[in-house]
Structure 1
Amino acid sequence: MIRDDLYDIGLRQRRDMFGPEGAEAQVEHTTDLNDKIQDFVTRYCFGDIWQRGGLPLSDRSKVTLAMLIAQGKSHELRIHTRGALANGVSVLELREVIVHSMLYCGIPAAVEGLRALEEVLAEKGLPSSIDDEAEKAGVPA
């Protein structure tokens, strides 16, 4: 892969969102089979689109999660749930994206979103209770 500013910015964004396992571990273990995808994701997805003004990273994460729920992409949903937490999206906001998706994507899609959130919270040792945060925001828990 060609290293340039766009690539370096993308790799740094991937590291910030997904840690070294989602950055260096992905791109350093590419093969002839997947190198073009890894390069595209690093350079254009995270080095370009995720860097644009107009939406903060936390909003980009929420939009991404909503689209992944709509498409039923459970693997990517878990990856981007981790990234959303790293981008400052609260557990309450994640729950609300999932609840809102129920209206437009259906109950099974929302359940998969909730399952992903619960798994990521458990994996990270984070509490799943949102009662305090919901009360402060005036949202029914």
Structure 2
Amino acid sequence: MTRPFAPSNPEMFERGLATRREVLGDAYVDAALSNVTDFTVDLQEWVTQCAWGEVWTRPGLDRKTRSMLNLAMLTALNRPHELKTHVQGALNNGVTVDEIKEVLLQTAVYCGAPAAIDAFRVAAQVVAEQPAAT
């Protein structure tokens, strides 16, 4: 049995959990947390507390800007699974489809065409899965 979450800073963990849910959605976060094992529990605590509770909640950048930065960095690092997650998060944070395209075009110059092609493929899949605007 996996041990329960025991973050070093419960208040920051809860703040991170709320931010993570707002950006990525309840379904994604619930799935991530329900799939925790003894091997991954420490990572999920750290990601939720530090990345989402400390960095994502800092006042220096808004969430939209943070999302666009993440798209560029995940493209550069060739992390398609996380890129897919963060394309959805970017849309949730108000990044438009046109802005996503511009971010990914910018990565083509600095990260190379193959990285951008893969990123466009991932982003196009997420965009296609969005409900039609009414």
TM-score (norm 1): 0.85
Alignment-derived partner of residue 96 in structure 1: 102
Residue of 107, 113, 126 corresponding to 2:119: 113
- Aligned partner of 2:6 among 2, 13, 21: 2
* Correspondence for 2:59: 53
- State the partner residue of 1:83: 89
* Greater RCO, CA 8 A, separation 6+: 2
Q: C-alpha separation between the residues in 2 aligned to 1:22 and 1:47? A: 17
> Does residue 72 of the first structure (1) align with residue 116 of the second (2)?
no
Question: Residues 28-62 of structure 1, C-alpha deviation per residue, up to 9 Å, x if partnerless?
Answer: 33110110111011100001100011110000001
Give the match for residue 40 of structure 1: 46
User: Does structure 2 conserve the Cα–Cα contact (< 8 Å) formed by 1:11 and 1:24?
Assistant: no
Residue among 28, 51, 70 paired with 1:22: 28
Amino acid at match of 1:63: L
Q: Distance in 1 between matches of 2:62 and 2:49?
A: 19
Q: 1:93 to 1:126 in 2, by over 3 A?
A: farther
Q: Shift of residue 2 of structure 1? A: 2.4
RMSD of aligned C-alpha atoms?
Answer: 1.4
Q: Give the unaligned 5+ runs of structure 1.
A: 128-141
TM-score normalized by structure 2? Answer: 0.89
Question: Residue type matched to 2:11 in 1?
Answer: D
Look up the equivalent residue of 1:55 and give its one-letter code.
L
The amino acid across from 2:117 in the alignment is V
Percentage of matched positions with identical amino acids: 37
Rounded Cα–Cα distance in structure 2 between residues aligned with 1:24 and 1:12: 12
Gaps in structure 2 of 5+ consecutive residues: none
For the 8 Å contact 1:98–1:113, the answer to whether it is kept is yes
Displacement of 1:126 in angstroms is 4.8
